[in-house]
Structure 1
Amino acid sequence: MNRKVLALLVPALLVAGAANAAEIYNKNGNKLDLYGKVDGLRYFSDNAGDDGDQSYARIGFKGETQINDMLTGYGQWEYNIKVNTTEGEGANSWTRLGFAGLKFGEYGSFDYGRNYGVIYDIEAWTDALPEFGGDTYTQTDVYMLGRTNGVATYRNTDFFGLVEGLNFALQYQGNNEDPGAGEGTTNGSDADSGSRKLARENGDGFGMSTSYDFDFGLSLGAAYSSSDRTDNQVTRGYGDGHH
């Protein structure tokens, strides 16, 4: 498929990212950052489904609260708004991220909500471009490959402070087969019935990732996940009961 892209990035507040976020509040151990962007984006493609205006705006908040010397609460919410639709057209905005958790010093962190699956921990290394990065298997609301619902995640950096550069994560995902779930109009739901597409349903599952950062700029990592199929998937012959 022949496809060309014209992209114009216009920072709405500051470019997304913790290092470039606009600090709204920082007092007495409580901190709130705001980030966002507007992306003027157009695809030129022979595929009618891809060709055309793909512009969007994005905004997010990151917050922390210092509970005591060892315990910190944190959360993040990120929202996406399509700006290539007509006024009154439905399903043109959605929540990308929404989770809250606790950090326990060198003992790691635990959070729950809509977040990235642990498989993305490794795939994120190739998802560095403004557009088309990490396209090999990044899919939203498909098990633990990308952004997804209902994930409980434990993360540990530098292996409890004992091994610098050794990081790992453990993740559990609950069953997701509710109607209307998923990002956007067609990303997670059937346009006719409003129900979640079979490929974007998931049963209970778990995953893990690990990485080691060498002191000369090289990192090695691996990730694994396994999930049950939903009853709908099994009934309709979608796989053998596991993913």
Structure 2
Amino acid sequence: MKKTLLATAIAGAAALAATSASAATVYNQDGTKLDIYGNVQLAYSYIDQYNGAEDSELGDNGSTFGAKGEHKINDDIVGYFKAEWEYDADEAKNGGLDGGDQAYVGAKGSFGDARIGSWDPLMDDWIQDPITNNEFFDLSDSGTALAAGSDSGEGGNDAALREGDKLQYMSPVMGGLQFAVGSNFKGDGDSVDGDDNISNSNQASFFTGAKYTVGGFSLAAVYDNLDQFEANSATGEDLGDQYGITGQYTVDALRVAIKAERFAGEEDDTDVDFYGIGARYGYGMGDVYGAYQYVDAEDQSNYATEYGDDSFNEFNLGVTYNISSAMYTYVEYRQLDRAGDAGDGAAVGIYYGF
């Protein structure tokens, strides 16, 4: 699922109380705890396509089933795990749990948090999500530019590549400051395109970030060298780097965030910049939210070539309504400023969490 519940928690405690659902604890004894949880998400969407057609669909929107647990190693250190699987709620008879969403194991304590496995990139969590991390429609970001430039095609934005085979250390918060460092590793036998093609070379990225929080204000910066990707697998040419900085301020039930993000291509005139502002307000029975973003793509970037222009004005709007503590509905709209209105659309959906 998207992380609306997390965003709502940031927006205001009153909204959180109306939308959160507790996981079911199946075991909690002698320092060991095991929970199961999940959600069912369905949405009806209408999206303009690049070929001039329109797509309307009643479909699944990221339904998951998960388990998480932890146990006390000693008085200071706790070991933990989390595993989530996806399934299609609109066509459940066609299959069961059809793919992993995230899975990791780690340990946390006064030293910080160290984990290994698969989860969202730090660039997503700290830089992109505060602007648009909505139910159905998000705006584009440096991951979109990454996909356009990757020699592996869709692999540039494939969860198996960006999220998997990862190791990360995150420090404790010290005087409001926290930092993270990690790597995404692809060995000789790992897939480089989310399919059957293997890398035939060891490729490890390096990413790092820092966040400073004081009161209701926070500032985060992240860098990722993307060395697990190649612009040209035949020549070994590097793809580029990701940079991002986001500031956000929360007061009562209102959160406002601004972002500057760059996909820096390895070749000249291939950079793509993203400048965004977003806001979310918890009105008591749900959230109202929206964002605007200006995208500036240099002429030689694959992004400009793929989308037929070098600058775009994007925005989206949305509202949620809480039916109960575990169930809510929403309406969203997005406009991407692409040729032929491609990617523009609207969606209405429902979420039930347990």
TM-score, normalising length: structure 1: 0.69
Identical aligned residues as a percent: 24
Q: How many residues align?
A: 206
Structure 1 contact 96–147 (Cα < 8 Å) conserved? no
Structure 2 unpaired stretches of 5+? 1-18, 145-153, 242-354
Using CA pairs under 8 Å that are at least 6 residues apart, name the structure with larger relative contact order, 1 or 2. 2
Specify the alignment match of 2:190 in structure 1.
Answer: 178
Structure 1 contact 167–212 (Cα < 8 Å) conserved? yes
* Structure-1 separation of matches of 2:230 and 2:133: 36
Structure 1 unpaired stretches of 5+? 1-16, 182-187
1:96 and 2:101 correspond: yes
Structure 1 contact 151–173 (Cα < 8 Å) conserved? yes
Q: Which amino acid aligns with 1:72?
A: V
- For the aligned residues, what is the CA RMSD? 3.7
Q: Which amino acid aligns with 2:212?
A: Y
Deviation at 1:36, TM superposition (A): 1.0
Specify the alignment match of 1:203 in structure 2.
Answer: 203
1:59 to 47, 62, 65: 65
Specify the alignment match of 1:117 in structure 2.
Answer: 121
Specify the alignment match of 2:171 in structure 1.
Answer: 156
* Structure-2 separation of matches of 1:152 and 1:196: 23
Structure 2 contact 132–138 (Cα < 8 Å) conserved? yes
Which structure has more helix as a fraction of its residues? 2
Structure 1 contact 107–156 (Cα < 8 Å) conserved? yes
Deviation at 1:196, TM superposition (A): 5.4
Deviation at 1:242, TM superposition (A): 4.7
Match of 2:224, SS state, is strand
Q: Which amino acid aligns with 1:227?
A: L
Deviations 1:82-113 (A, max 9, x none): 23458557x9821010110111x221111101
Structure 2 contact 64–86 (Cα < 8 Å) conserved? yes
Please tell me whether Structure 1 or Structure 2 has the larger radius of gyration of its CA atoms.
2
TM-score, normalising length: structure 2: 0.49
1:107 and 2:111 correspond: yes
Structure 1 contact 117–144 (Cα < 8 Å) conserved? no
Deviation at 1:227, TM superposition (A): 2.9
Match of 1:42, SS state, is strand
1:219 and 2:218 correspond: yes
Structure 1 contact 23–33 (Cα < 8 Å) conserved? yes
